Amino acid sequence: MNTIALNVNRRALEALAEPRTSLADFVRDKLDLTGTHLGCEHGVCGACTVLLDGVPARSCITYAAACEGADITTIEGLDEDEVTVELRAAFTREHALQCGYCTPGMLVSARDLVLRLPDADERRIRVGLSGNLCRCTGYVGIVRAVQSVIEARRARNIAPQADGGRTSLGPVGSGRAALGSNEQPPRPARQEFAPASDGVAPGVIPDFIPATVLEQRFTLPHAPAKVFAMFDDIAGIAACLPGVSLTAPPSPERVEGAIRVRLGPIAAAFEGAARVERDPATLSGRIIGIGTDRRSHSATQGEIRYRLVPLDGGAATTVELSIGYTLTGMLAQIGRPGLVRDLARRLVAEFAGNLDRHMSGASPRETTPAELSFWSIVSGVVRARIARFFGRGDEPG
């Protein structure tokens, strides 16, 4: 056993590894970063692709001991990467994945192409992805997804990076060879490995392109001005949301908090922060946030856009919601679009009821659970679907 020191996903660490241990086995077995997948284990399929000193590399044929002092970035380390977020949304939009096994390595390679290619040339994209094999999609959706991200970024005047930001030529990781034959690469300060999330609310909350967007609306028997003022009461709004709690005093532009979710045996506590934007002229606003759960190594970005529409001559208000989100990590594996839509509809209805009671003078905490239990919501969804099914059967032909 040898002790190796390296940086993984921007964290310095030291760990024991046998000389024969591959980098793929090291990050999966030692660090529990299982987003890196093993396929052929011969460096052919590309499922194990990670970034080694910023360059895509096959981790299954790279020895962990050879990465002493290197910077390693796995797919988990790209959760908040701007290009990867856009690629994830594009992969969803273009149906660029099916089983998903090749997707982590495909995203790492696609990110490199987005950074380097000056335009969305199909042939160059196909050549660039030729080292990543997929047995499901036929590659058409994958190529379209990469093209769309390149086109969108170039349209925003984001120029390509020469050689993808590489500072030296040669094999992956060879930039450290410039130290000289007798010099040793600097060893990172020893640090116990921790999950990607450290529970600290991010200082900057970036814009993003949601992978999924849901449209909802509900009506409140209160005037639009009163509802808009209520939306400015962050603590009051949080009290109406199941499972939500504040972890710091809110300001008009920023809120820090947590949402607790229990899905059967899986309990998650997403901690993070959100920025708040309001436009009194149009009675609209936006809340955009980011959160992570250390136990499941999951992360989410979310955006809620709302607009208040007067109803009944201004005596009531229709609240139009656009809910967008991107979920990564273990919890992303159990999501299904149809079920998510039903759950969102049920949650919005519960939020609307709590909000109405709060604005009418009642305490929403009397009915709002401290933890969001999906099983109780799912049971209601299933009952509603069964009722709709038998209801259709009773309709006259």
User: Residue 337 is part of which domain span?
Assistant: 212-394
- Of 102, 130, 163, which residue constitutes the final position of a domain? 163
In a domain, 343, yes or no: yes
Shared domain for 55 and 120, answered yes or no, is no
Instruction: Characterise 171 by phi-psi region: left (phi > 0), alpha (psi -120 to 50), beta (else).
Output: beta
Shared domain for 249 and 286, answered yes or no, is yes
What is the per-residue pLDDT for 192? 38
In a domain, 322, yes or no: yes
The answer to pTM > 0.75 is no
What is the per-residue pLDDT for 191? 39
Shared domain for 58 and 99, answered yes or no, is no
Partnered with residue 305 across adjacent β-strands are: 286, 322
Shared domain for 35 and 107, answered yes or no, is no
Q: Which domain CATH number covers 360?
A: 3.30.530.20
Residue type, 216: Q
> What token pair was written down for 191?
């640090």
Q: Which domain CATH number covers 102?
A: 1.10.150.120
Burial class of residue 19 in the structure, from the number of CB atoms within 10 Å of its CB (0-12 exposed, 13-18 middle, 19+ buried): exposed
- Of 163, 198, 224, which residue constitutes the final position of a domain? 163
Helices and strands per DSSP (H, E), number in the chain: 9, 13
In a domain, 260, yes or no: yes
Shared domain for 153 and 294, answered yes or no, is no
What is the per-residue pLDDT for 198? 44
In a domain, 180, yes or no: no
Shared domain for 156 and 287, answered yes or no, is no
Shared domain for 241 and 286, answered yes or no, is yes
Q: With DSSP H G I counted as helix, E B as strand and the rest as coil, what are the percentages for the chain, rounded to 5? A: 35, 25, 35
Give dist(CA 264, CA 118) in Å, integer. 47
Shared domain for 34 and 50, answered yes or no, is yes
Residues near 63 by beta carbon (within 8 Å), at least 6 away in sequence: 19, 20, 21, 22, 23
Shared domain for 43 and 103, answered yes or no, is no
Give dist(CA 165, CA 280) in Å, integer. 43
Shared domain for 317 and 378, answered yes or no, is yes
What is the per-residue pLDDT for 87? 96
> What token pair was written down for 39?
């396929």
Shared domain for 29 and 143, answered yes or no, is no
Give dist(CA 51, CA 33) in Å, integer. 14
> What token pair was written down for 71?
């910077």
pLDDT by residue for the chain (397 residues), tens digit each?
Answer: 788 999 999 889 888 889 899 999 999 998 989 999 999 999 999 999 999 998 999 999 999 999 998 999 999 999 889 999 999 999 999 999 999 999 999 999 999 999 999 999 999 999 999 999 999 999 999 999 999 999 999 999 999 987 665 655 455 655 554 444 445 555 544 433 333 344 445 567 878 777 778 888 899 999 999 999 998 888 888 888 877 888 888 888 888 988 876 655 556 788 888 899 999 999 999 999 888 887 766 778 888 899 999 999 999 999 999 888 877 766 665 555 555 666 667 777 888 888 888 888 875 444 444 455 544 545 555 555 555 555 554 544 4
- Of 40, 56, 77, which residue constitutes the final position of a domain? 77
Residues near 347 by beta carbon (within 8 Å), at least 6 away in sequence: 242, 377
In a domain, 204, yes or no: no
In a domain, 10, yes or no: yes
What is the per-residue pLDDT for 201? 55
What is residue 285's DSSP assignment? E
Give dist(CA 18, CA 342) in Å, integer. 49
Shared domain for 292 and 332, answered yes or no, is yes
In a domain, 183, yes or no: no
In a domain, 196, yes or no: no
How many independent structural domains does the chain possess? 3
Q: Which domain CATH number covers 23?
A: 3.10.20.30
